[in-house]
Amino acid sequence: MELLERISEELQNGNYIDVPKLTREALAQGIAPAVILSDALVAGMDVVGEKFRRDELFMPEVLIAAKAMQSAMEVLRPKLIETGVRTAGMIVLGTVKGDLHDIGKNLVGMLCEGAGYQVIDLGVDIAPERFVEAVRTHKPDIVGLSALLTTTMPRMREVIESLVEAGLRGSVKVMVGGAPVTEKFSQDIGADGYSPDATSAVEKARVLTKH
């Protein structure tokens, strides 16, 4: 459909002024909210993510595209709720206690939102008990833990142990990431998934939330 293709293209261009207007236009034409989400917005962000992976786009361009996605979702989200459309899942994100880095985490959050996930970002310097509280309150599909310092990486293990102690570990998948984090470290601490960058984080989230 031509209008959906245009929304996708303008999203890829980071046109955060026109994307929400075009989203309203699509709704006015009777296009189902779920179709706008999957065929225009998620499709557009998938292209952005792929180009970012291939170094055809850089972080500022990805962030602008993500802003366009968010502006469209402000229009679309109430309609999705009205029509009972299920999101791809819910993700709680946070940078672990003692670590104040958030650029990578923010990018993961934006790309996951672009892939249709509801994202709850707890911020930085998050203690294990706050992750536990968020899992208990929001019942997410995934908890994403970020660390950019080797000195804060052990906090990831503490979060997982806290989820075990709270009896919540079986109800949620745990993903980890950050510059010093490795696949081996992820396995050693009992996480469910690791991603080396934001684009692959979306792919890993999709694998972990397959129903």
Domains of the chain: 2-82 (1.10.1240.10), 89-208 (3.40.50.280)
Interatomic CA distance for residues 31 and 197, integer angstroms: 34
Q: Residue 148 is which amino acid?
A: L
Q: How many other C-beta atoms can be found within 10 angstroms of the C-beta atom of residue 34?
A: 16
User: The pTM is what?
Assistant: 0.79
pLDDT value for 182: 96
pLDDT value for 211: 60
Interatomic CA distance for residues 30 and 28, integer angstroms: 5
pLDDT value for 17: 95
- CB proximity list for 13: less than 8 A, separation 6 or greater: 65, 68
- In which residue ranges of the chain is pLDDT below 70? 1, 211
pLDDT value for 49: 85
Interatomic CA distance for residues 197 and 29, integer angstroms: 38
Task: Please write the tens of the pLDDT for every residue from 1-54.
Answer: 699 999 999 999 999 999 999 999 999 999 999 899 989 998 999 899 889 889
The residue count of the chain comes to: 211
CA angle in degrees (0–180, nearest 5) for 205-23-48: 40
Interatomic CA distance for residues 96 and 131, integer angstroms: 9
pLDDT value for 107: 84
Tokens of 79: 């309609």
Interatomic CA distance for residues 185 and 27, integer angstroms: 46
pLDDT value for 59: 82
Going from the C-alpha of 76 to that of each of 10, 26, 58, the distances in angstroms are 16, 10, 27
- Give me the half-sphere count of Cα atoms (radius 13 Å) on the Cβ side of residue 39: 14
Identify whether the C-beta of residue 122 lies closer than 8 Å to the C-beta of residue 134: yes
Identify whether the C-beta of residue 45 lies closer than 8 Å to the C-beta of residue 62: no
